[in-house]
Amino acid sequence: MKTIACLVLASAIVACVMAAITDEQRDAARQLAGKCMEQTGASEDDVNRLRSGDTENADRNTRCFVQCFFQGAGFVDQEGNVQTEELTQKLASEYGQEKAEELVARCRNNAGPDACERSFRLLQCYMDNRATLMF
């Protein structure tokens, strides 16, 4: 039961990026999140904090969880560089092409010392700017 709860919490992290997904995609996201939690050592508490929007105290495991998940979803490559077309396409299905392109342009230069940090900065940028998608 605890494993299921962890997977549900982990999949919620990316719900903001994958707003319009099918049940099949949601199941795949849960599986990917579970795999990434196992690979990185991110805890249920770490994932829950991200889910609530708290990126302030994210440790290395949490940052690498985001890298693992975003890479598995096709949002970033192995180096943590944004896959512009894939991310724009995912966001455009929910928010429209223009808003998606604006957000991706704003967040794609997620400079950092390594893949985990670059992916985490992409998540932070998205969270900081997601309100612009609504209006």
CA distances from 6 to 1, 27, 56 (A): 9, 13, 21
- Domains for the chain: give ranges and CATH numbers: 2-134 (1.10.238.20)
Report the distance separating Cα 29 and Cα 25, nearest Å: 6
What tens digit of pLDDT does each residue of 12-45 get?
A: 454 444 455 688 888 888 899 999 999 999 998 8
Q: What is the pLDDT of residues 40-88, one digit of tens each?
A: 999 988 988 888 888 988 999 999 999 999 999 999 999 999 999 999 9
The model's pTM: 0.80
* Model confidence pLDDT, tens digit, residues 85-104: 999 998 898 889 999 999 99
Distance (Å, whole) CA 104 – CA 84: 7
